Amino acid sequence: MLDPIVEFFTRVFHWIGRGIGLVIAWILWPFMAVGRWYTRRGWIVRGSVGLALLVIVGFYGYFFWQTQVWTGFNPDYVEEYKLEERSVSAGEQTAATQGGETRTCGRSAIVDVTADLTDFNVNENAWISSMLLYKLGFFFALDWDDTPFFDNKASFQRGINQAARRSAIELVDALGRVRGTSQIDRDLQNARGALTFDEETWYFGLSPFGPKTPTPSFYRSAIRDLRKFNDRLESCEAVFDARADNLIQFLDRIASDLGSTSDLLRQRSENYNSGWFDTRADDRFWFAYGQLYAYYGLLTAAGADFEDVIKQRSLGSLWDTTEEQFRAALNVQPFIISNGREDGWIMPTHLATMGFYILRVRSNLVELRLVLDR
């Protein structure tokens, strides 16, 4: 009785093996044909083709390395600022120099964090979204955002940049001027313009008018302008208006930004349930993660810049809880992003998990705003 069964499975595995062999042969056939053509050419043609292939392999090797290595990534990066040791709000004249000849004022932690996050994006790491191979897509046929690989870092960087842009706008419109009636600070204005530049410009665009300045150059100029402003602020030559209503507006903008991202996650989670095979789920997840990563630092920085306001309104405990919830969200780092059903038991739903964390921190931001507005 066993012999027919063994023979049956032997035949099945034999045909499966032949099928796999045919598939592999079909995949390798173009490469083998090119190899035969290559070996029949003269040394000049072979040398030229070999050099071209070497350049292409080098470009792709560099691209793959940059997309997979996240230099300087650290969810606890805010600890390096030692903001708890600060004793003055941003723009406030330090007690040690009051009445003296040389005045010094408190630097803005929000400005420092915004500059450092941008530096992390374009100096510590390559800015992925404007790299030539990223723009060309997967072998010129498919946008990298539509693939399940090599796009996570780009989405993460864009999430950080979204938060940096929002902070730059608030610095220009409210924080870096007195009650919105004084003149706009030129350094902050330049930084805002540079950070709002599009994210994908390479050296050459579709325009027939010649080469363009790439995106990372604009972001690097924003870093210089932000740090220049903070140096002037430290010398009491610039303004940081650390009032309660400005803090309310800043929290409102962060909550609104996170609300938009929460809705983006919700739509993807509700309308697509392909589990590990949803090639756009990772983009949504890492964009949201990048925002939380940046806003964790910016909220902590705001706690230092508005130190007096937080003390006067007795917000210390609630503020600390909000920071802790931001940090807790950064612990969610799955190796593969899955967008399964919420009641599924095989494929998890990481988008819903991230959406939960975003709604939780947003709820705390709204509560902070309500207390400040009393």
Q: What pLDDT sits at residue 85?
A: 84
CB 265 within 8 A of CB 284: yes
Residues 6+ apart with CB under 8 A from 167: 110, 113, 114, 298
From the centroid of its chain, how far is CA 117? 9
Express as a percent the part of the chain with pLDDT over 70: 84
- Res 363: pLDDT: 94
Other Cβ atoms less than 10 A from the Cβ of 62: the count is: 13
Contact criterion met (CB below 8 Å) for 254 and 298: yes
Report d(CA 117, CA 91) in Å as an integer: 21
The whole-number pLDDT of residue 207 equals 54
Sign of the Cα pseudo-torsion (44, 49, 55, 57, in order): negative
pLDDT at 208: 54
Instruction: List per-residue pLDDT tens for the chain, 374 residues long.
Output: 456 666 666 776 667 777 787 777 777 676 676 667 667 667 776 677 677 778 878 888 888 898 889 999 999 999 999 998 888 888 788 865 545 557 788 899 999 999 999 999 999 999 999 888 888 877 666 777 777 778 889 999 999 999 999 999 999 988 887 765 668 889 999 999 999 998 888 876 555 555 667 899 999 999 999 999 999 999 998 899 889 999 999 999 999 999 999 998 888 777 777 666 777 788 889 999 999 999 999 999 999 999 999 999 989 999 999 999 999 999 998 888 877 676 666 667 888 888 899 999 999 999 999 998 87
Take residue 78 and report the two structure tokens written for it.
């805010």
Q: How far apart are CA 225 and CA 187, in angstroms?
A: 5
pLDDT digits (tens, 9 = 90+) for 9-44: 677 666 777 778 777 777 767 667 666 766 766 777
At 120, the amino acid letter reads F
- Looking at residue 144, what is its pLDDT? 73
Strand, coil or helix: what is 308? helix
Cα angle for residues 26, 29, 35 (degrees, 5° grid): 165
Calpha distance 60→139 (Å, rounded)? 10
Residue 113: phi and psi, rounded to 5, are -65, -40
The pLDDT assigned to 294 comes to: 97
Structure tokens at 307: 């130190």
pLDDT at residue 23 in the model: 75
Q: Is 55 exposed, middle or buried (0-12, 13-18, 19+ CB in 10 A)?
A: exposed
pTM of the predicted model as reported, rounded to 2 decimal places: 0.84
Nearest to 110 by CA among 186, 166, 162: 166
Distance of CA 7 to the CA centre of its chain: 57
Residue at 366: amino acid letter: V
Query: How far apart (Å, rounded) are the C-alpha atoms in residues 320 and 328?
Result: 12
The helices-and-strands tally (H runs, E runs) of the chain is: 12, 0
